Structure 1
Amino acid sequence: MFEIRVICTPTDAPEITKALAETFTTGPVRQYPTRDGDRVRVYVTAEQRPSHWPAPETAYAKAPSIISEIGWTARGARDCLHGIQVREFWLRKAALLDRIALDDERHRVPGDAAILALEAARRLMELDDAAGLGPSGYADGPYTPDHPDSVREPRGYVRQEYAIWIGKQ
């Protein structure tokens, strides 16, 4: 748990506390005037929200082997360039890179897999956001691509979407 202090105008305080509550699990808000009386000091106790994304073991339980996915992704790149299966390509590529990054992190192997996984996740989110996918589309998990939690944790968004996609296969 930690405490956040914000100094702002009294009219900005409600919007700021709302944004903090959307980002963290927050306690009671305490508000006091500053010494000059023109602004307010807002104090909020907060803590990180527990992860609500599917655990990698759950999201990727039915996934093909990493080697198989590397082959599919290499073949799928051609189709993606021609506008075929664009979302599936980016979903599977992002999931593949996430799995590689997780393995690297688990074994403390240095490399750029985590950066590439993040970039691929953001690309998938851009595609989903541009397509306006919501509860009736692929992005039918609890968190849409533009949700603050998705923006904060793009790889979690990939796990959510992959678990839903693979479950439909």
Structure 2
Amino acid sequence: MFEIRIICDPADTGRVTDALSEAFTVGPVRQHPTRDGQRKRLYVTADHRTNTRPWPGPDEAYTLAPSIIREITWTADQAATKPFGTRLPRDFWLRKAALLDRIALQEEPQSSGAGAADIATEAAERLMHLDDATVICDPRAYVRQQYAHWIKHQ
């Protein structure tokens, strides 16, 4: 547990306390005026938030996703239109990893060996490396979480 002190404009206090509540488990926010009376001092006791939300499953993560054929086309177009050696943006790697995960999910019930699942895991690990992710989880679950967040904000 730790104490946070923030000095901000009075108009920003609501936005600041909302952001703190999203980032940490917080107690009541105590407000005091600054010495000059122009700003507010906010004091809050906080603790690190544990990730209590479950990782989204494939159905939840890919509900808003375009068709697999459309994603294959988009991914191929993005890779083909960039000059060789051009660094592709994160969205490309996220969408590619999600596409490969979706393909692997269709194959998994009838597959007994390596194949699409291994390729999907490699793409997911590449995304985690690109993101410098420090979470310990199934790489494909990480892709689903990131994709679900990304697609909702598009």
TM-score range, shorter chain: 0.5 to 0.7
Q: 2:120 aligns with which of 117, 120, 130?
A: 117
Number of residues of Structure 1 aligned to a counterpart in Structure 2: 100
Match of 1:75 among 65, 74, 77: 77
Largest Rg, 1 or 2: 2
Change (3 A) 1:96 1:109: farther
| TM alignment of 1:12-161, pairs within 5 A | 52-78=54-80, 79=82, 81-84=85-88, 86-108=89-111, 112-129=115-132, 145-149=133-137, 153-161=138-146
1:52 shift after superposition: 2.8
Please, which runs of 5 or more residues in structure 2 have no aligned partner? Answer: 1-52
- The RMSD of aligned alpha carbons is 2.0
1:158 is displaced (CA, Å) by 0.1
Partners of 2:63 and 2:145 in 1: CA distance: 13
Output one character per residue of 1:66-122: Cα deviation in whole Å (capped at 9) or x when no partner.
0000000101114384234x2011100000000000000134476511011000001
How far 1:146 sits from its partner (Å)? 1.2
Conserved 8 A contact 1:104-1:110: no
TM-score by length of 1: 0.54
> Taking structure 1 as reference, are residues 55 and 155 closer, same or farther at Cα in structure 2, changes over 3 Å only?
same
Give aligned-pair identity as a percent: 55
